[in-house]
Amino acid sequence: MFVVKKSEHNPILIPDRDHYWEEFATFNLCTVRHNKKIYGLYRAISAIDPLQNPRQVSIVGVGESKDGTHFKNRVPFITPKEEWEKFGCEDPRVTFFEGKFYTFYTALSKYPFNALGIKVAVAISSNLKKVDKRHLVTPFNAKAMTLFPKRINGKIVVMFS
């Protein structure tokens, strides 16, 4: 058993007003430790653009930390590129598995948002600097998925909702 202690450094992430892509909000941080660094992936909401519909877009940002509470070098990581995510990429869940980073995220394809346009996608990366591949995972409505970091009885295991 282990005890989880609430961080005294709250909030861990705040929007950066110098970054248009995360000016409005930053939240839903998930972390992965790799090569003595902690990477934080999170949902970022852009500044309001009255000429855009919807007026704001969610993307997945990434930052680096040594202590898990102070994230630097924050940059966009997963941005809408495909038809099935054109209205936003949200709520990342990252796992380092067999030499690659697998980031499952919510992909939004319809606006106004509705169940038919909310699906799970995956971005695969070798370094969390750029996305090497991305795929739609669920052709049906789903909101979240995560990959176990090791095979169980030789099988790849995920959980999703």
CATH number of the domain enclosing 82 = 2.115.10.20
Which two tokens mark 112?
A: 């106004």
CB 12 within 8 A of CB 29: yes
pTM of the model: 0.94
Asked whether residue 96 is assigned to any structural domain, the reply reads: yes
CB 85 within 8 A of CB 33: no
Peptide bond into 80 cis (omega under 30): no
The band of 146, judged by pLDDT with boundaries at 50, 70 and 90, is: very high
Is pLDDT above 90 for 52? no
Which two tokens mark 127?
A: 């370094």
Q: How many domains does one find in the chain?
A: 1
Look up the domain containing 143 and give its range: 20-160
CA dist., res. 118 & res. 142, Å (int)? 6
Which two tokens mark 146?
A: 């995560």
* pLDDT tens per residue, range 95-143: 999 999 999 999 999 999 999 999 999 999 999 999 999 999 999 999 9
Task: Compute and round to an integer the Cα radius of gyration of the chain.
Answer: 16
Asked whether residue 7 is assigned to any structural domain, the reply reads: no
